[in-house]
Each structure stands twice: as C-alpha cells, then as structure tokens.
Amino acid sequence: MFKLLSKCLLLFLIAFPVTILIGQSGIVVRAAEDEVEGEDERAGSGASQTGADDDDDDDDDTTIEEEKEGEEGEEGKSPAETAGDEVSGEEEEDEVPEIKPSPDADTTLLFTKYNEKQLPAGKLATVLTGFENTGDKDFIVDNLEASLRYPQDYSYFIQNFTLGMFDTLVVPGEHRSFLYQFTPGDSLGGRSFILVIALNYRNSDGSEFRDAVFNDTVEFYEVDEGLDAETFFLYILFAAALGLVVILIYNFVPTGSKRKSAPKVEVGTQGDDEVDKSWLPMDHLNANGAPTRSPRKRKTKN
C-alpha cells in the first residue's frame, strides 16, 4: 500500500510542476505578443505621422503658391474688398476658440502619498486639487479629467482615466479642495509617460474654462510585493522538487544491512520464590519438604 501511494505521489510531483511551467510559458508568450502588437501600433502611428509631415510639407508648398497668387490678386482688389476679406478671416479664426483658465481662479495640486515624478504601476494614486475663487463672480467646478500621453506624440493616448464629477459651487473668496483617484495600468512599470490632469469649470455667466493643473512626465515603477503569484508558484515548484528527490532516495538507494535481534525465548518460572502460593489450601502444601512423590500402597502377602 505504501509503495502504491509513493508512486502516485511521485507521478503528481512530476506532472504538477510541468503544468505550472507550461502555464507560465503561455503567459509569457501572450505578454510578448501584446508588446509586439504595441510596438507595431506605435510604429504605425509613427509612419502615419511621417506621412502627415510629408503631406504638411506639400501643403506648405501649395500654400506658398496660393499666397503668391493671392498677393497678385489682391493687387487688383479695392481697399473695401481687402478689408472684407480680413474680417471674414478673423471670423473663421474665432470659430474654434481655445479654452483657457480664468484669471479670477487659482488652482493647486498635491499628490497625497507618492512623489509626483514617480508613481507605482497598478496602485491607486490620490491627488488633492485646490480651487480658489479670487474674482467677484460665482464659479461652478464641473469635473476633473486625467490621461496618460505618449512622450513622442502628445496626441497619442496611452490610458484614459475615469472622469471625476464634482458640480460644486464656489462663491467669491471661497477655497475648495477636490479629491481625485486613479489607477495606472500594471503593464506601465519601468516606463515614462506624460500625465495630464485638467480641471473644467465655468462662471455664473456660462463662460467655460479649463486649467491643466498638472502636465508633466511621470515615471512608473513596478511594486515589489512580499508574496505574489509568481513567487508562490516558485515555492511550490521547489517543494515538489525536494519531495521528488526524497522519494527517489527512499526507493532506489539502499539503506544498508540491518541487524536482526535474537528472538526472545520464554523460560518460564525458575524458582519457588517467584510463584504466588497464597491461593492454595494449606493441606496441599508440603511444609516439611517431603518428596512430592505419593507413597505407594504396600501389598500384603498372603
């Protein structure tokens, strides 16, 4: 029975580490494929950017030619037509206004736990955003948004975080603080990206404002925890290998000759002092030490 159990345990210790190694190799292969796909996407975006730069160069050449033609055409225009063209050009520029921060509001930002230049990947980060109304109109703080951008291409988003909704009224002379939390991805460890945190608010007249309270490059590092899944499986693999070695030694290595002890022989009672005679009747005991042989009856001779 013990040999059967040892063989089953030996089979389990051989199959279990192999299964773990196959699973870990599959995870590594999938991670490598994801990295290759990410590099292909960045390479594709770089190629698109290069193509866009070439198109911009062509557009610049075309624009220069059009400007020359326009200057030649403007020479034949009247002053009134020239002024009309300038007004229409200004209107086109005003169609897409850039949202800027208000001069009547001051903002601050503070990382509560980690350094603003180094953040842990896969861990919750908390920031406090301060907003002070220094004007004479009410402000309404709508929301706060955060994202990670690619350093070589600012328009390329690495990760968009959840929008923090506040919708809080701030009267003139009042100061408010807003708590915002976000979690960077686990795969960002060992790399640097641009972290953008922007606060969106508006005044009582309906004018919208946007203030980038944080816009800087942040390095993400991997967190070295006490016991993770990889370390746990490594310990299991080590224990399985040790158990396998012990079983092999027990089954295949001779343990040496064992001395056989002599069998015990029962000798019985050797003396009268070792016998308890208290239970025997007194008339059955020979107090004078007479021989135990019973006397023979003498036969009378006729």
State the average pLDDT over residues 294-299: 56
User: Which DSSP category does 186 fall into?
Assistant: G
**Per-residue pLDDT, 66:** 55
Strand partners, 147: 160, 196
Both tokens of 265, joined, read 């022989």
9 by DSSP, 3-state: which? helix
Task: Give the CATH class of 105-221.
Answer: mainly beta
165: region left, alpha or beta (phi > 0 left; psi from -120 to 50 alpha)? beta
Give the tens place of pLDDT for each residue, 172-220.
999 999 999 999 998 998 899 999 999 999 999 999 999 999 999 999 9
Residue 207's identity, in one-letter code, is: S
Residue 47 has pLDDT above 70, yes or no: no
Confidence label for 5 from pLDDT (cuts 50, 70 and 90):
low
**Per-residue pLDDT, 124:** 93
Share of the chain above pLDDT 90, in %: 37
> E strands within 171-243?
175-182, 191-203, 208-221
Strand partners, 181: 126
**How far, in whole angstroms, is CA 4 from its chain's centroid?**
42
Both tokens of 141, joined, read 């703080």
Residue 106 has pLDDT above 80, yes or no: yes
Contacts of 271 (CB under 8 A, 6+ apart): none
Residue 149 has pLDDT above 80, yes or no: yes
What is the domain partition of the chain in residue ranges? Answer: 1-47, 105-221
Backbone torsions φ then ψ of 164, nearest 5 degrees: -95, 110
* pTM confidence score: 0.48
Residue 144's identity, in one-letter code, is: L
- The more confident residue out of 181 and 289 is 181
Both tokens of 203, joined, read 């005044």
**Per-residue pLDDT, 281:** 74
State the average pLDDT over residues 53-72: 54
What Cα–Cα distance (Å) separates residue 152 from each residue in 55, 192, 218, 273?
19, 11, 14, 108
- The more confident residue out of 264 and 280 is 280
Confidence label for 249 from pLDDT (cuts 50, 70 and 90):
confident
Q: What is the mean pLDDT of the chain?
A: 74
- The more confident residue out of 231 and 59 is 231
**Per-residue pLDDT, 152:** 92
Share of the chain above pLDDT 70, in %: 52
The continuous run of DSSP H or E covering 142 comes out as strand 139-150
**Per-residue pLDDT, 91:** 45
**Per-residue pLDDT, 151:** 93
Q: CB neighbours (10 Å) of residue 293?
A: 6
What Cα–Cα distance (Å) separates residue 56 from each residue in 50, 60, 109, 267?
10, 6, 38, 116
Q: DSSP letter string over 253-287? A: S-----PPPPPP------SGGGS--TTS-GGGS-T
The continuous run of DSSP H or E covering 243 comes out as helix 229-252
